[in-house]
Amino acid sequence: MTAQEQKKNRIIVTVLGPDRVGIIAGVAQVLAENNINILDISQTILQEFLAMIMIADMEKSRIDLSTLKERLAAKGSELGVRIDAQHEDAFRFMHRI
Amino acid sequence: MLTLAEIMETIKMVQEENLDIRTITMGISLRDCADPEPKVACRKIYDKITRLASRLVAVGEEISREYGIPIVHKRISVTPISLVAECNRQEDCVEYALTLDAAAAAVGVNFIGGFSALVHKGFTYGDRALITSIPAALAGTERVCASVNVATTRAGINMDAVYLMGRVIKETAARTAEQGGLGCAKLVVFSNVPEDNPFMAGAFHGIGEPECTINVGVSGPGVVKNAVARVGNADFGTLAETVKKTAFKITRMGELVGRLAAERLGVPFGIVDLSLAPTPAVGDSVAEILEAMGLERCGTHGTTAALALLNDAVKKGGAMASSYVGGLSGAFIPVSEDAGMIRAAEEGALSLDKLEAMTCVCSVGLDMIAVPGDTSAETIAAIIADEVAIGVINNKTTAVRIIPAPGKKVGDKVTFGGLLGEAPVMAVHPFSADNFVRRGGRIPAPIQSLTN
């Protein structure tokens, strides 16, 4: 597998909402259950409002992106935050040449 | 590695600033569908469109979901029907329109463009048959869009066609009077029409185009407006630079979506149309960008200069972001589809004459303008003649999409609904141009040097 192909399976998971205990654990659990590897996490807190992004690799994932989005959304409503997953290219194309 | 700020910027553009891909339009050649027997031709057309575009909507939705970027429309453009139906009679042309309508419905697209003719130098029998059938075709269908090119810089202006279109527009309005003259919202008169435009109502699949292709139209007036607002009172260099950078980012999304759609549908990627296409939603308006630049209302003095800066910066930023640029590429100023334009027209800040001046520096022309229902065919023809003259002399595309709203007068409002919005009826000049437009013939092609 070339570096280029590896990048094709990378997604960005974003979490937005009020901070509370267990958000990272919750998201990580959904990803782990489906064999999706987390490559990087960064987060910031602005006035108790959490913004977190995860870069993850879906290469060995057991589910497709659409299904993952549904499961993350369900987990998000459980945790009271908004969770979404998008293909990494949506961001790379806009910010990198 | 992407930074948190970059990722948040993209998400904010989509969620708060209405960034979307306005349309992915599949261009389909129908040249192999011509047949002396209209029923046979129509069957071939239906089969070809439904075969090639069967997955268009599904693929659009799939990309939209995976990449988190809304794709508002999936549409189809086809070879100008005047070419395909050349050997058929006028009464058969409507049959073609009904076929396009049915094929569009079958694959789930909301508009199909290409009920079109190119008559900038003169009419063939087929052209004339098609044009005279436009009112019946638009009244009898829901999704079909028509366009007619009446002038080019190299051929001049076919004034017979201009006058004929004045009458066709009147008749189309009359036939769709119950819906406020809605048929006219799906009919565009062009000069220097591009062959690869993905935007309705003027889209068709030109004769230089391949068998099948994907063209993309981007949008994002809201993103540009917020970027302009953020620079505050900065000088013009900073302003232009900001618009350029923002246009680059918007267009990259179009480039990405176009490449993906073409790959997944197995057809070549055509072009990205670098356009700022407004919608009636508040915050998705080109007029509001101009106002954010420092104009009290769109349409006041300074509007043409502001629009010129905007249009040029959008092209500069967009051209860097895409491998293939085409279509109409520029800021659109459709009155009924832009909340800021509607407000400016209602408050008397924006007149038809100012709009005409604005079209000299932007894409495309007098777009989605409602005028009183008793405006004569000759006056409409004269408005078209003025607009295409601007295009012909300045070597650019211009267009007229005008609605003489039946039974309405200045100050009234005509509502089309959805993305077509609602248009305040604007005043036209009361003085006649009848003797001018009735002369007939062709205005010669302009000289290309001595440019003053």
Q: Nearest CA to CA, how far is B200 from chain A (Å)?
A: 26
**What does DSSP assign to residue B179?**
G
A41 to chain B: nearest residue by CA?
A: B4
* B259's tokens: 């490449």
Q: Nearest CA to CA, how far is B197 from chain A (Å)?
A: 23
Q: Quick one: which H or E segment has residue B99? A: helix B90-107
Residue type, B273: D
* B345's tokens: 């027209």
CB atoms within 10 A of CB B63: 22
Q: Which of A92-96, B296-300, B351-355 has the lowest mean pLDDT?
A: A92-96
- For residue B249, list chain A residues with Cβ-Cβ distance below 8 A: 94-95
A97 to chain B: nearest residue by CA?
A: B321
* Long-range contact set of residues B132-135: C-beta below 8 Å, sequence gap at least 24: B132/B90, B132/B164, B132/B168, B133/B90, B133/B91, B133/B93, B133/B94, B133/B97, B134/B168, B134/B172, B134/B187, B135/B168, B135/B171, B135/B172, B135/B174, B135/B175, B135/B183
A-B Cβ pairs (cutoff 8 Å, strict): 56
With cut-offs at 50, 70 and 90, classify the pLDDT of residue A45: confident
Average pLDDT in chain B = 94
A55 contacts B10? CB cut-off 8 A: no
Question: B403 with B181: CB under 8 angstroms?
Answer: yes
Cα–chain-centroid distance for residue B312?
Answer: 18
Find the mean pLDDT for residues A13-36. 92
Using CB atoms within 10 Å of the CB of residue B312, give its burial: 0 to 12 exposed, 13 to 18 middle, 19+ buried. Answer: middle
- All domains of chain B in start order, with CATH: 25-191 (3.20.70.20), 217-437 (3.20.70.20)
Distance CA B197, CA B185 (A): 17
Q: Nearest CA to CA, how far is B271 from chain A (Å)?
A: 17
Give the 3-state secondary structure of residue A9. coil
Query: Out of B65, B68, B252, whose CB is closest to A93?
Result: B252
Give the model confidence (pLDDT) of B193-251 as tens digits: 999 999 999 999 999 999 999 999 998 899 999 999 999 999 999 999 999 999 999 99
For position B441, what pLDDT does the model report?
96
Query: Which residues are within 8 A (CB) of B424 and not within 5 positions of it... i.e. 6 or more apart?
Result: B335, B342, B345, B346, B370, B411, B412, B413
Distance CA B449, CA B452 (A): 9
For position A5, what pLDDT does the model report?
46
Residue type, A22: G
Using CB atoms within 10 Å of the CB of residue B300, give its burial: 0 to 12 exposed, 13 to 18 middle, 19+ buried. Answer: middle
Identify from A45, A94, A95, A96 which residue to disrupt to test chain B contact, counting B C-beta atoms within 10 A and taking the largest count: A94
- For residue A91, list chain B residues with Cβ-Cβ distance below 8 A: 2, 6-7, 10
Strands B398-405 and B187-191: antiparallel
Q: Does B256 touch chain A (CB under 8 A)?
A: yes
With cut-offs at 50, 70 and 90, classify the pLDDT of residue B421: confident
Distance CA B369, CA A29 (A): 55
* B31's tokens: 């040249």
- Please report, to the nearest 10 degrees, the dihedral formed by the alpha carbons of residues B368, B279, B274, B142 taken in order: -60
Q: Which of B76-85, B232-241, B354-363, B413-422 has the lowest mean pLDDT?
A: B413-422
Domain A9-95 has CATH 1.10.287.110: no
For position A9, what pLDDT does the model report?
87
- For residue A63, list chain B residues with Cβ-Cβ distance below 8 A: none
Q: Quick one: which H or E segment has residue A91? A: helix A89-95
Give the model confidence (pLDDT) of B307-339 as tens digits: 999 999 999 999 999 989 998 888 899 999 999
Query: Which residues are within 8 A (CB) of B112 and not within 5 positions of it... i.e. 6 or more apart?
Result: B49, B75, B76, B77, B78, B100, B101, B103, B104, B143, B144, B145
Q: Rounded to the nearest 5°, which phi and psi values hold at B27? A: -90, 130
Find the mean pLDDT for residues B392-416. 94
CB atoms within 10 A of CB B289: 28
Q: Nearest CA to CA, how far is B6 from chain A (Å)?
A: 7
For position B417, what pLDDT does the model report?
79
**What does DSSP assign to residue B158?**
E
ipTM: 0.82
Kindly state the greatest CA–CA separation across chain B. Answer: 67
A65 contacts B7? CB cut-off 8 A: no
Using CB atoms within 10 Å of the CB of residue B113, give its burial: 0 to 12 exposed, 13 to 18 middle, 19+ buried. Answer: buried
Query: Out of B7, B253, B256, whose CB is closest to A53?
Result: B7
Total length of chain B: 452
